[in-house]
């Protein structure tokens, strides 16, 4: 019985719990995750040259507003 309770199995169980939680979050908040991904894409494009112009800043703020809108839709359905 004590062979089952060791550190390796504990870390394996923790990994399974984290993976299950991530799957649940991505399923329930699919739209929010999609909008966050778009924000990070815009940030990557904006900082390619090392500077952030006003137009790029406006695009990023628009994407952030889309994230907030998606979060509100999830909680106020």
Each as own residue / partner, the long-range contacts of residues 53-60 (CB below 8 Å, 24 or more positions apart, any chain) are none
Q: What is the pLDDT of residues 39-73, one digit of tens each?
A: 899 888 888 888 888 898 888 899 999 989 988 88
Instruction: Provide mean pLDDT across the span 4-25.
Output: 84
CB 38 within 8 Å of CB 13: no
Domain positions in the chain = 29-77
Whether the model pTM is above 0.95: no
Q: Would you state the structure tokens that stand for residue 9, as one six-digit string?
A: 């199995």
Write down the mean pLDDT value for the chain: 84
* Mean pLDDT calculated for residue range 8-26: 85
Q: Which two tokens stand for residue 75?
A: 């909680």
């Amino acid at each position: 019985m004590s062979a089952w309770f060791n550190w390796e199995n504990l870390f394996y169980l923790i990994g399974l719990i984290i993976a299950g939680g991530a799957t649940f979050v991505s399923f329930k908040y699919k739209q929010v995750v999609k909008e966050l991904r778009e924000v990070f894409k815009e940030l990557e494009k904006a900082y390619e040259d090392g500077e952030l112009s006003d137009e790029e800043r406006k695009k990023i703020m628009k994407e952030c507003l889309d994230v907030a809108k998606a979060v509100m839709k999830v909680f106020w359905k």
